[in-house]
């Protein structure tokens, strides 16, 4: 048995023309159109299966890119250093003034693509790579220690 193409019930009985389309409908929904014939009921009901998740899976080896927490202050500071108003900056990066304002007040987190565009224009860094646990992967060069790195050392 197939499902009603209007309400989803498993009681398809009729084929009907509803608003110019031929549909298989139940006894209740047939009132919305004109009956053509009784539907064939030899089909088995569909087996419902869970669809696979649409989320991208991140491999264990590759870190995920994330926007840093204080991105708004960094964007504002770099924009002001270039002596640009929010309106001028928005025009330069081809975005809306309201979006620039929301980013600078940290009420909007930009996409990675937008963040990369801002990074290139302002010559700042607002995207960091994090592993699955949310930790910043260790850098191979002699990088500056951060408070989180020092806390990890103290736990060892």
Residue pair 13/28 in contact (Cβ under 8 Å)? The answer is no
Other Cβ atoms within 10 Å of 131 Cβ, number: 15
Other Cβ atoms within 10 Å of 11 Cβ, number: 16
154 pLDDT more than 60? no
Position 74 scores a pLDDT of 93
Three-state SS for 40?
A: coil
Q: What confidence tens digit (pLDDT) does each residue in 109-145 have? A: 899 999 999 999 999 999 988 766 656 555 555 566 6
Radius of gyration for the alpha carbons in the chain, expressed in angstroms and rounded: 28
Confidence of residue 18 (pLDDT cuts 50, 70, 90): confident
Going from the N-terminus, what domains does the chain have, and what CATH number goes with each? 1-46 (no CATH), 64-140 (1.10.260.40)
Q: Which two tokens stand for residue 52?
A: 């696979």
Q: What confidence tens digit (pLDDT) does each residue in 82-117 have? A: 999 999 999 999 999 999 999 999 888 899 999 999
Q: Is the dihedral of CA 145, 148, 154, 155 positive or negative?
A: negative
Position 19 scores a pLDDT of 85
Q: What DSSP string describes 16-50? A: EEETTEEEEE-TTGGGGSEEEEEPP--SPPPPP-P
Q: Which residue has the tokens 């806390």?
A: 151
Position 141 scores a pLDDT of 54
Q: What angle do CA 113, 69, 144 make, to 5 degrees?
A: 100
């Amino acid at each position: 048995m197939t499902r009603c193409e209007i309400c989803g019930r498993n009681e398809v009985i009729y084929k009907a023309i509803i608003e110019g389309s031929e549909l298989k409908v139940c006894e209740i929904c047939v009132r919305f159109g004109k009956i053509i014939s009784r539907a064939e009921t030899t089909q088995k009901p569909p087996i419902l299966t869970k669809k696979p998740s649409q989320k991208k899976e991140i491999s264990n080896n590759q870190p995920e890119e994330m926007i840093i927490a204080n991105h708004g202050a960094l964007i504002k500071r770099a924009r002001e250093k270039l002596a640009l108003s929010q309106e001028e900056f928005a025009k330069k990066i081809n975005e809306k003034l309201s979006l620039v304002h929301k980013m600078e007040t940290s009420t909007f987190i930009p996409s990675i693509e937008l963040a990369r565009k801002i990074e290139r224009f302002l010559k700042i860094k607002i995207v960091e790579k994090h592993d699955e646990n949310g930790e910043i992967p260790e850098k191979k060069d002699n990088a500056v220690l951060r408070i989180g790195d020092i806390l990890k050392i103290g736990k060892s």
